[in-house]
Amino acid sequence: MSEAEFLSALRTLPLHPGARGLTDDCAVIEFGSETLIINHDLMAEGTHFRPEADLADVAWKLLAINLSDLASKGAEPIGVLLGHSLGGNDRRFLEGLRAGLAAFDVPILGGDTVAVTGASTFSMTAIGRATHKPVPWRKGAAIGDGLFVTGTLGRAMLGFEGEVDHEDAFNRPAPRLTEGRALAPHVTAMMDVSDGLLLDAFRIAEASQVTIGIESSEVPVADNARCADCMRWGDDYELLFTAPADAKLPVPATRIGTVAPRGFAPLVLDGDPLLNAQGLGYQHG
């Protein structure tokens, strides 16, 4: 099954209201006076990292990508649960995890370990608390909104390819936690750019039942000669969001597009309609 097919099948199972129909990156659960934000991500050898990768970098990135989803909800991290495959360079993994936890001021809550003899898989569950209600999600983009993105796209791609100036962007990304909390009261929809700008913009448009137009010349990329690749490669973990076009944003961000009434295509790139998600970014299966 493809990722999309598997998700469709999961939606036929009993779902908690906080699952948001499995159309978002996190579960949102009301718990007393608090709203908890819960996310779970995995990293698999051969898919997310090379067999020869430094496990210190893998541990840092596993933490960062989970916290990035919390950032897209404007959440404040409470702690993380770790699922760890023993048998690799466990000490290096611990070193990278220790560094990441210190950098982002997040504690370990618990988890589980398992011994493996084949390819390693690591998982993590991140738990946070909402700092603003309603909690942002992919749904909510309104006609006339602008589409904005933080930072510069394509740095992770260049780092993966060995460009020294961008290696940290791939190996040790920094989740936009502070920016997410600042933006939460101002956005109408928000997610992080994990699978590619175009694919993630397509997902916001689909969830919000609108058409989003993007001008590639406005997209901040790390290599102008490879703009198309920078918009599709992913792993950037910047924040992609919609907000009123005249909003006074509290953090630096670049306007790259506009939200329009739903037409026959969810996404329009430089005037060309994109009818489906194929080829727009990274998808499993």
- How distant, in Å, are the alpha carbons of 10, 86, 118, 168 from that of 49? 27, 16, 14, 14
Determine the pLDDT at residue 118.
79
145-271 maps to which CATH number? 3.90.650.10
3-class secondary structure, 211: strand
pTM recorded for the entire structure: 0.94
Residue 25 confidence (pLDDT) above 90: no
Determine the pLDDT at residue 284.
53
Phi, psi of 266 (to 5 degrees): -65, -30
Domain boundaries, the chain: 3-130, 145-271
pLDDT higher at 17 or 284: 17
Predicted confidence (pLDDT) per residue in 93-146, tens digit? 999 999 999 999 999 999 999 998 878 899 999 999 999 999 999 999 999 999
- How distant, in Å, are the alpha carbons of 50, 114, 132 from that of 93? 14, 14, 34
Predicted confidence (pLDDT) per residue in 131-161, tens digit? 999 999 999 999 999 999 999 999 999 999 9
Phi, psi of 160 (to 5 degrees): -60, -35
Q: Mean per-residue pLDDT for 171-182?
A: 98
**How far apart are alpha carbons 61 and 104 in whole angstroms?**
12
- How distant, in Å, are the alpha carbons of 54, 100, 132, 233 from that of 36? 33, 22, 11, 31
Matching CATH number, 3-130, of 1.10.8.60, 3.20.20.140, 3.40.50.920, 3.30.1330.10: 3.30.1330.10
Sorting pLDDT into bands at 50, 70 and 90, what band is 21?
A: confident
